[in-house]
C-alpha cells in the first residue's frame, strides 16, 4: 500500500515536471502555486506529401508524353477516377478534396484542351507544358492559354501545378 502511494506521488511529480517544461525542455514561466492556463488544442500532424523526384539525365521527361498527359487530363476531366490521379498532391491541394475537384469541374458543360506544344525543360528536371484550354459553361465559351508543370512522382508523370 505504501509502495502504491509512493508510486502515485512520483508519477504525479513527474507529470507535473513534464507539464511545466516547454518544447525546448526549459522550465515554464509559471510561478509555483499559480495555475497554468489551459493548453491549446494540438493541431494534428499530417504526413508530408510524397516528394517529387528530381529528374536526372537517366530519367528525362519526354515532351510528347508530358503534352499527352495534359491533353488527356483536360479531355477526361468529367471522369474523376481518371483525372484526379493525374495530379500531384500539390495540384490536388488546390481543390482541397476530390469532392471539391468534382464540384469545380461540374460547373462546366465541357472542358477540352489542344495545342500542347512548345514544351520546355525546367531547371529542376520538370517540364513546362503550354496548352490551350477551352472552358464551356453552357452560356459562354472561353479559351485560355495555360502552362502546367509536369514532373515525376513515384515513377509516373503527374501535373504539379494549379490545373484549373
Which residues have a Cβ under 8 Å from the Cβ of 153 and sit 6 or more positions away?
Answer: 50, 52, 53, 88, 160
Q: Are strands 120-121 and 156-159 parallel, antiparallel or unpaired?
A: unpaired
Nine-digit cell at 54?
Answer: 528530381
Q: What is the pLDDT of residue 131?
A: 96
Q: What mean pLDDT comes out for the span 128-149?
A: 95
Query: Please, what is the Cα angle at 13 between 11 and 17, to 5 degrees?
Result: 115
Q: Is 96 left (phi over 0), alpha (psi -120 to 50) or beta?
A: left
CA 4, CA 131: separation in Å to the nearest integer? 73
Q: What is the pLDDT of residue 40?
A: 45
What are the residue boundaries of the structural domains of the chain, listed by start? 63-159
pLDDT digits (tens, 9 = 90+) for 34-86: 444 444 444 444 343 444 444 443 578 889 999 999 999 999 988 888 999 99
Which residues have a Cβ under 8 Å from the Cβ of 83 and sit 6 or more positions away?
Answer: 73, 76, 77, 101, 105
Which H or E run contains 149? strand 141-153
The residue with cell 484549373 is 164
The three-state secondary structure class of 74 is helix
Handedness of CA 60, 62, 68, 74 (dihedral sign): positive
What percentage of the chain reaches a pLDDT higher than 70?
65
Q: What is the pLDDT of residue 140?
A: 95
Q: What is the pLDDT of residue 80?
A: 87
Highest CATH level, class, for 63-159: alpha beta
Amino acid at each position: 500500500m505504501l509502495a502504491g502511494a509512493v508510486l502515485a506521488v512520483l508519477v504525479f511529480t513527474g507529470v507535473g515536471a513534464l507539464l511545466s517544461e516547454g518544447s525546448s525542455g526549459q522550465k515554464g514561466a509559471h510561478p509555483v502555486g499559480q495555475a497554468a492556463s489551459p493548453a491549446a488544442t494540438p493541431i494534428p500532424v499530417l504526413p508530408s506529401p510524397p516528394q517529387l523526384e528530381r529528374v536526372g539525365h537517366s530519367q528525362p521527361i519526354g515532351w510528347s508524353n508530358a503534352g499527352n498527359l495534359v491533353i488527356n487530363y483536360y479531355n477526361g476531366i468529367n471522369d474523376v477516377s481518371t483525372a484526379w490521379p493525374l495530379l500531384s498532391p500539390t495540384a490536388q491541394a488546390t481543390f482541397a478534396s476530390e469532392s471539391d475537384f468534382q464540384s469545380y469541374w461540374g460547373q462546366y458543360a465541357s472542358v477540352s484542351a489542344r495545342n500542347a506544344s512548345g514544351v520546355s525543360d525546367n531547371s529542376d528536371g520538370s517540364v513546362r507544358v503550354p496548352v490551350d484550354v477551352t472552358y464551356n459553361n453552357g452560356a459562354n465559351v472561353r479559351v485560355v492559354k495555360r502552362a502546367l508543370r509536369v514532373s515525376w512522382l513515384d515513377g509516373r508523370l503527374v501535373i504539379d501545378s494549379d490545373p484549373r
